[in-house]
Amino acid sequence: MYLPKFTLESPKSIEEAVVLLGSGEGTKLLSGGTDLFPRMKYKLCSPEVLISLKGLPSATPQIDEDGKLIIDAKMSLTTITLSYEIREKAPLLALAAQKVATREIRNMGTLGGNICQETRCLYLNQTHTFQFTEPCLKRGGKECYFAPKGKKCWATFMSDIAPALFCLDARVIIADSNGEREIKIEDVYTNDSLKPLSLKPDQIITKIIVPETQGLSGSGFAKFTVRETIEFAVVNVGVFLEAEKDLKTCKQVRISVGAIFGGPQRALEAEDWLAGKSLSQENINTVSQKVARSLKIISHHGYSKSYLTECLKTQSRQALNDAVKGLTDQSNKEG
Ligand SMILES: Cc1cc2nc3c(=O)[nH]c(=O)nc-3n(C[C@H](O)[C@H](O)[C@H](O)COP(=O)(O)OP(=O)(O)OC[C@H]3O[C@@H](n4cnc5c(N)ncnc54)[C@H](O)[C@@H]3O)c2cc1C
């Protein structure tokens, strides 16, 4: 498989990149290329001009005067796993980054690119002639061939990083021709498999901001894959848990799930149920069942809905147990 021909632009600043992106149809932003290049090879998209951020330096993570962690979206996933500031202030993000693909892909792949990756499907992510002759909805056709006679796209959003950022209540800075603005990470997603991102073509995510956490907290990230090698998630679950001083009671919890729908999902019903309750194994088992029962599940990559429900239950339990085991006092940590 070959890459189609394209022109590469290497802007000297984000402002220049925004101008180039907005300069016409057929331009596309390039970070590490680990999501975009395979899609171009499969002819899922054919941009004529790529605006590369590769030449722009990535700032090291900063902690501002309010204790917020500010991370450059150009940061590679490997650097995220190794960053002292991220491991201390947002260990869940480092845990999730560690689970992405392989070291080689994490060296190339960036935080911004991971958040903005496209939805995937067994039918879609193939060369056009390999499995089928008719284009599906996401290739501009009239039907979803994964779900026979499907009138809706059933591709799933498989980022490992996005659910972790949902749990951390992260915000993102977006640059465009009007300057910069800050939005919640949840607002980056539409939950529509056909067009999973709310961003406009000339918008660039420049920074990710993680608010400071106080008190006792623990993180867990569980990713289930069948082959346990280089593989996208069957399901992934992130947990950020805050406990009372007794270490046995849940103050509040954020649980977020990826890979089973057109966008990451918060398990709000399960979160509400656990808040204020004991962190006993019995309650963790109950809340894991609630996560599995309350979320929308698309049967994907040949996994049935009942199989995915069961996976979701076990992975939620794993992530919650890891979060309880890892409870540490954030107030004692230096900024
Ligand atoms: C074999 C293989 C295995 C993989 N396994 C996993 C996995 O297990 N988990 C996982 O999460 N991902 C996985 N990926 C997907 C991908 O490698 C990662 O998501 C990676 O982090 C993408 O980052 P990138 O910088 O390479 O993105 P790119 O390919 O450069 O860009 C991806 C998309 O995001 C847009 N974009 C890039 N940067 C920005 C920005 N700053 N603002 C706005 N839009 C932007 C691009 O225009 C493009 O549409 C895998 C990929 C491969 C090839």
pTM: 0.96
Q: Which of 53, 75, 92 is the last residue of a domain?
A: 53
49/54 Cα distance (integer angstroms): 15
Q: What digits encode the pLDDT tens for the residues 52-85? A: 999 999 999 999 999 999 999 999 999 999 999 9
* Whole-angstrom distance, CA of residue 151 vs CA of residue 301: 18
Looking at the domain assignment, is residue 226 inside a domain?
yes
For residue 27, the surrounding DSSP H or E stretch is strand 27-30
Return the residue whose CA atom lies nearest to atom 31 of ligand 1. 113
Phi-psi region of 138 (alpha: psi -120 to 50; beta: other; left: phi over 0): alpha
pLDDT at 269 over 60: yes
148-152, 246-250, 295-299: which range is least confident on average? 148-152
**Domain finish residue from 53, 70, 90:** 53
* Domain-embedded: residue 127: no
- Domain region containing 228: 216-332
Q: In what order do the strands lie in the sheet with 265-266?
A: 265-266, 250-258, 235-243, 216-224, 328-329
| Ligand 1 proximity of 202 Cβ (cutoff 6 Å) | no
For atom 2 of ligand 1, which residue has the closest CA? Answer: 101
- Tell me, in angstroms, the distance from the centre of ligand 1 to residue 328's CA: 32
pLDDT at residue 331 tops 70? no
- 143 in a domain, yes or no? no
Mean pLDDT of the chain: 94
Cα 217 to Cα 67, 106, 130, 325, distances in angstroms: 16, 27, 48, 10
Examine residue 107 and state whether it is found in any structural domain, yes or no. no
pLDDT at 24: 74
- Please indicate, yes or no, if residue 95 is contained in any of the structural domains: no
**Minimum-distance ligand 1 atom for the alpha carbon of 174:** 42
| pLDDT class of 194 with cuts at 50, 70, 90 | very high
Instruction: Band the pLDDT of 188: cuts 50, 70, 90.
Output: very high
Q: Which atom of ligand 1 is nearest to the CA of 38?
A: 53
What pLDDT is stored for residue 328 in this prediction?
Answer: 75
Q: Which one-letter DSSP state was computed for residue 98?
A: H
pLDDT at res. 334: 46
Pocket flag, ligand 1, residue 33 (CB < 6 Å): yes
H or E element that contains 69: strand 69-72
Residue 17, domain CATH: 3.30.43.10
* 122 CB neighbour count, 10 Å cutoff: 15
Helix ranges (H only) for 22-83 are 36-41, 77-82
Q: Is residue 98 part of a domain?
A: no
Whether 170 has a pLDDT exceeding 90, the answer reads: yes
Regarding the beta carbon of 28 and ligand 1, being less than 6 Å apart is answered yes
Which atom from ligand 1 is nearest to the alpha carbon of 35?
Answer: 29
Q: Please say which residue of 13, 31, 53 terminates a domain.
A: 53
Q: What is the pLDDT of residue 131?
A: 62
CA-108 nearest atom, ligand 1 = 26
Query: Tell me, what CATH number does 275's domain have?
Result: 3.30.390.50
- Mean pLDDT throughout 227-254? 94
Predicted local confidence at residue 133, as pLDDT: 72
pLDDT band at 149 (very low <50, low <70, confident <90, very high): confident
For the segment 188-194, the average pLDDT, to the nearest whole number, is 97
Q: Cα–Cα distance between 152 and 240 in angstroms, integer?
A: 33
Report which of residues 130 and 229 the model is more confident about.
229
Read off φ and ψ for residue 192, nearest 5 degrees.
Answer: -105, 115
**What total of structural domains would you count in the chain?**
2
Closest Cα to atom 21 of ligand 1: 114
pLDDT confidence of residue 14 = 98
Question: What is the rounded average pLDDT of the residues 250-263?
Answer: 98
Closest CA to 58 of 69, 72, 68: 72
